[in-house]
Amino acid sequence: MAGVVGKLEAEIEVKSNADKFWNAIRDFATILPKVSPSVYKSIHIIQGDAKVPGSIIKYTLDMGNEVVTVTERIEDVDDAKRTLIYSVIDGDLLKYFKSNYKGYISVTPKGDDNGSIVKWSAEFEKVSQEVPEPIFIKEFATKIVGKLEAETEVKSNADKFWGAIRDFVTIFPKASPTDYKSIQILEGDGKVVGSVYTTISGDQGNEAVKTVTEKIESVDDAKRTIIYSVIDGDLLKYYKRYKGYVNVTPKGDDNGSLVKWSCEYEKASQDVPEPNFMAEAAINTFLKVDHYILNA
């Protein structure tokens, strides 16, 4: 019995100009794991260079509720028109759709170097009528995943500042009581991997994000790095997934430290803004912690 043929289309606006965004699309094998490592677990080039037609690429993707593999082949590229066509030739997707699944991407300038419009579409044939529309692929192709980075210099040496970061449950509310009303440990001790804690914002905290529950995912005291994820609270009203990173490095000659913060996120919808306020809050906290250490 024949499957059910269909087509999905979607488009989003991006701030990058068309040429820059197209170059990122053309270098997707390098760029995608960097901008969204929590989603793109790996991209393995099997044939070609992932740029010329005939190239074959295998993806390992974290779709949120499961990890899947998809193998695609680049069918056609037109750099002048900024279009790319690819087909799915192997992997989990073909459990539900026949091997004539084909995807299309195009990037067009909005005008006056004022960003671009990225269009995505897919043509598919279900293996049976019971298979639902591949809306999840549309959402995956157009969902807004991103990464923010920020850094600041502090006067405290790296070991002292890292010590304050490791003891954030105690230090943060003392250093910035107007931003941190309380930090309550729910599991663990607030230091070991797996610790879970809820932060309640103070009077000067963001009104839209009053409570956030986070879990420590990884700690490397030698490299002074910590990774945490948001697992509950107000932030998840706006972001489906959110992971934060903090790293402290010495500047040299005991002349202070460089504190780097970054986050990877997936918006709940295209209307949600980038979490710039989280970057601002992190830098503000680091500076207040530095002041607290120096005046302790």
- Residues 106-115 have pLDDT tens digits of 999 987 777 8
| Residue 37 pLDDT > 50 | yes
H or E element, residue 31: helix 28-35
Q: How many Cα atoms within 13 Å fall on the side-chain side of residue 125?
A: 7
* CATH number of the structural domain 147-295: 3.30.530.20
Mean pLDDT over each residue of the chain, to the nearest integer: 87
The confidence band for 4, taking pLDDT boundaries of 50, 70 and 90, is low
Overall average pLDDT of the 25-48 stretch: 89
The confidence band for 274, taking pLDDT boundaries of 50, 70 and 90, is confident
Helices 168-175 + 276-295 axis angle, to 10? 90
Question: Do residues 75 and 52 touch, judged by C-beta distance below 8 A?
Answer: no
| Residue 295 pLDDT > 50 | yes
Neighbours of 230 (CB within 10 A): 21
pTM: 0.59
* 288 phi, psi to nearest 5 deg: -70, -35
What are the angstrom distances between the C-alpha of 230 and each of 54, 109, 155, 196?
A: 40, 35, 29, 10
pLDDT at residue 1 in the model: 38
H or E element, residue 82: none
The confidence band for 2, taking pLDDT boundaries of 50, 70 and 90, is very low
Domain with CATH 3.30.530.20 in the chain: 5-143, 147-295
Architecture of domain 5-143 in CATH? 2-Layer Sandwich (3.30)
| Residue 143 pLDDT > 90 | no
**Comparing C-alpha atoms, which of 92, 107, 103 is closest to residue 61?**
92
Task: Return the minimum-mean-pLDDT range out of 1-5, 104-108, 151-155, 223-227.
Answer: 1-5
pLDDT at residue 141 in the model: 62
| Residue 270 pLDDT > 60 | yes
Task: Return the minimum-mean-pLDDT range out of 100-104, 112-116, 142-146, 207-211.
Answer: 142-146
Task: Return the minimum-mean-pLDDT range out of 105-109, 140-144, 156-160.
Answer: 140-144
The confidence band for 132, taking pLDDT boundaries of 50, 70 and 90, is low
pLDDT at residue 191 in the model: 95
The confidence band for 82, taking pLDDT boundaries of 50, 70 and 90, is very high
| Residue 88 pLDDT > 90 | yes
State how far the Cα of 96 lies from the Cα of 104, in Å rounded to an integer: 19
